[in-house]
Amino acid sequence: MFISTPTKPGNKTHILVVPFPAQGHMIPLIDFIHHLSTLTPTTTITILTTPKNLHLLTPLLTTTNNNIIPLILPFPATSSASTPEHVQGLPPNAVRQFIPTLSLLLPSLRLWFESHPSPPTLIISDFFAGWMHRFAIEMGIKRVVFSPSGGFMLSLMYSLWTNMPKKRNDDVQEDDVVLFRDVPNCPKYPWRQLSYMYRSYVEGDADSEFIKKCFIDDMASWGLVVNSFDGLERVYLDHLMDVLGHDRVWAVGPLLSPRGIDSRGGSSAVDLDFISGWLDTCGDIKVVYVSFGTQALLSTRQTEVVAEALEASGIRFIWSVRDPLPTAGDDSVLHGFEDRVACRGMVIKGWAPQVAILKHKAIGTFFTHCGWNSILEGLIAGVGMLAWPMGADQYANATLIVDQLKVGVRVCEGPETVPDPNSLARIIAESVNGDILDRKLIEKLHADCLEAVSENGSSSKALAQLVNKLTE
């Protein structure tokens, strides 16, 4: 059974949206659909979800636009016991299993599609839902891929799945280097820093082959929407057009919430006015904001080192942590940490209004795990970045901002690495008081961000061109 509302009479365009239910994927897609629904108020947008993931769509369903309709499809009862019924706060090691799991909705989706009085004329789906390409062909309509990651990372992914270098079956070593000769600037990475999705591929394994087919089908789809912009990744966007063999690649980023700067992704654990009032007492670009996203979880020792470095740096800071700081014994730096730094530091336990914090003039540096959403939020806020990539697309994102764009400094790498607290304290201090960050380059990229999303900017034009294509 499915739950949805019929398309409004008279509509000529009906778009089906298939998200991937992970926070880093949902947030930019929700923002994109908001913009799309605003620009196409007579177009019906149906967005697929499962019963226990329906809450993730709340920002969409509470919008003033009423052309967005949820399609709620439960997973079939025949799913195996090892298959998750739904995903909330998707852990990194569950993504691989959930890609084929999500495709179990296909039979119900097909039934809904065939019985709908005005079925979709186009599909937009996350790049982890590559199986929608063949479904679109079956239904005789076009499919557009939505990439929550940037063009550089996407170029690396397409290269991996096209050329298949050093498969896990080949007894590859963690430090073996993979060179991407077909990607601009010939980037190279040790095996351990490649996409986990690719590193886990085993020839002949059903899930591995399914995931490979998804990425190949992404490349065969009719169009591609990327959460990026010309001033950031023009060389890689052009490269993607060459790889895909067409120019239907639209860079529409940075995708930020049209609902207000304090509402992106969730409700703040601390009142925004209180945070802003505290920041108002600080000097311009003198505060470091620390956050490692929704998926990365620091070990107790890593947490201790970050705390020790923040305390030793003498710098004002805001530190957003997913959970309360670990229980600390008398010999741990965490014991009494918040009391000792209370005059110059704030620890937010839970969701922080990151976009609003970064945009405050007091923030000078963003200490980040280099998730793509965080990168774009940092760039549009005009802050420098301290990079600690830990997995997924984060190594590629760090390469882009540190090595290519020169607007960040790499301070650590890897999910298990423990940085030296003294070195980390020095870098934190120098990021606001020294010259390790090039503020002129940071300001230039910040200006490019603002230009891209201005009325006549490249991303605004790309979005308008996309809307024209979708509603033809």
Residue with the two structure tokens 């609003």: 356
Give which of 266, 273, 256 is closest to 352, Cα–Cα. Answer: 266
Closest CA to 96 of 206, 207, 192: 207
Task: Show the beta-strand stretches assigned E in 322-414.
Answer: 345-349, 363-368, 384-387, 408-410
Specify burial of residue 225 (Cβ count, 10 A radius: 0-12, 13-18, 19+).
Answer: buried
Residue 360 annotated in active site: no
User: Is 25 one of the annotated active-site residues of the chain?
Assistant: yes
Cα separations in angstroms, 444 against 28, 236, 251: 24, 19, 19
What's at 380, amino acid-wise?
I
**Pairwise CA distance, residues 220 & 450, whole Å:** 32
| End-to-end Cα separation, the chain, in angstroms | 32
Contact 141, 364 (CB under 8 A): no
User: For residues 123 and 135, what is the distance between their CA atoms, to the nearest angstrom?
Assistant: 9
Exposure of 275 in the CB half-sphere (CA atoms within 13 A): 27
Q: Residue 225: left if φ>0, alpha if ψ -120 to 50, beta else—which one?
A: beta
**Alpha carbons 436 and 456: distance in angstroms, whole number:** 34
DSSP E strand boundaries for 107-170: 122-126, 142-147
Q: Distance between CA atoms of 431 and 421, rounded to whole angstroms?
A: 15
Q: Which of the residues 25, 133, 239, 360 is marked catalytic?
A: 25
**One-letter identity of residue 193:** Q
Contact 208, 201 (CB under 8 A): yes
Burial degree of 216 (CB within 10 A; 0-12, 13-18, 19+): middle
| Residue 424 main-chain phi, psi, to 5 deg | -65, -40
Q: Which residues contact 131 (CB under 8 A, 6 or more apart)?
A: 102, 103, 106, 210, 213, 214, 217
- Cα separation, 2 vs 107, whole angstroms: 11
Length of the chain: 472
Catalytic residue (choose from 31, 126, 217, 393): 126
The strand pairing partners of 177, in sequence order, are 190
Residues with catalytic function: 25, 126
